[in-house]
Amino acid sequence: MDAAAPYNPRTVEEVFRDFKGRRAALIKALTNDVEEFYQQCDPDKENLCLYGFPSEQWEVNLPAEEVPPELPEPALGINFARDGMQEKDWLSLVAVHSDAWLIAVAFYFGARFGFDKADRKRLFNMINDLPTIFEVVTGTTKKQGKEKSSVSNNSSTKSKSNSKRGSESKLSKAMQAKEEDEEEVGLGMEEEDEEEHGETFCGACGELYAPDEFWICCDICEKWFHGKCVKITPARAEHIKQYKCPSCSNKRARS
């Protein structure tokens, strides 16, 4: 595993940066790269693990041979359950074990380099501010945020929404909120919208909603994505009648 070159973050910030890189890699494997990940997890092969690296690259491979390993190991044998479960359930199971592995690695570094109580608490709080891989893969948090924002977006511009429903569903939340605020609502509603949008995370990279970026919603799984993460521009979105994210497109192709 060349991507797993020795790396020993020694400060809270370095460990958190390591955590974010590995997390981004695992989210990529379970969302944007799910077709490739699925194919690599052949049940006929030996016990396989899903690794995420600080470089945001992922890998399906055999576990380390040394005992004990340099770092905690991911869940072993994820490939054996692939064909015995519904795909979404299998991906969710891998996501849960990946979350547990990320925490284990982060606090391994904390223990190894003598983090005190305050540092461990600060590290956990930084990690806890991000949605889990399970939440990103299943859309648990994003669906709640989408439901709230859709009520806000449609309450005062209902007729306009109905006439342009196909195209406006492709606009970013930031653009919708800005338009409504300028036309019909005051500063108080703008602050409320920001709070609601703050609960939404990108289904590809898992990062929190940002009001200055273009977003698009998948019409199949209802997850929201940065346009840049799925390579969709605002101009292109205007001509898409039904947007399907990479994960939903891959599932449809397999079925």
Mean pLDDT, the chain, rounded, equals 80
DSSP 21-45: HHHHHHHHHHTTTHHHHHHH--TTS
Tens of pLDDT, residue by residue over 12-58, are 999 999 999 999 999 999 999 999 999 999 999 999 999 999 999 99
Tens of pLDDT, residue by residue over 101-149, are 999 999 999 999 999 999 999 999 999 999 999 999 998 865 555 555 5
Tens of pLDDT, residue by residue over 204-223, are 888 877 777 888 888 888 88
How far is it, in rounded angstroms, from Cα 41 to Cα 156? 49
Q: What is the mean pLDDT of residues 181-204?
A: 57
pLDDT for 242 equals: 84
E strand map for 29-169: 49-52, 58-61
How far is it, in rounded angstroms, from Cα 138 to Cα 143? 9
Give pTM, 2 decimals: 0.59
pLDDT for 125 equals: 96
- Name which residue leads in pLDDT, 156 or 207: 207
Residues in the chain, total: 255
Pull the structure tokens for residue 207.
């990062």
Is the model's pLDDT at 241 over the cut of 60?
Answer: yes
Please say whether the beta carbons of 43 and 80 come within 8 A. Answer: yes
Tens of pLDDT, residue by residue over 76-111, are 999 999 999 999 999 999 999 999 999 999 999 999
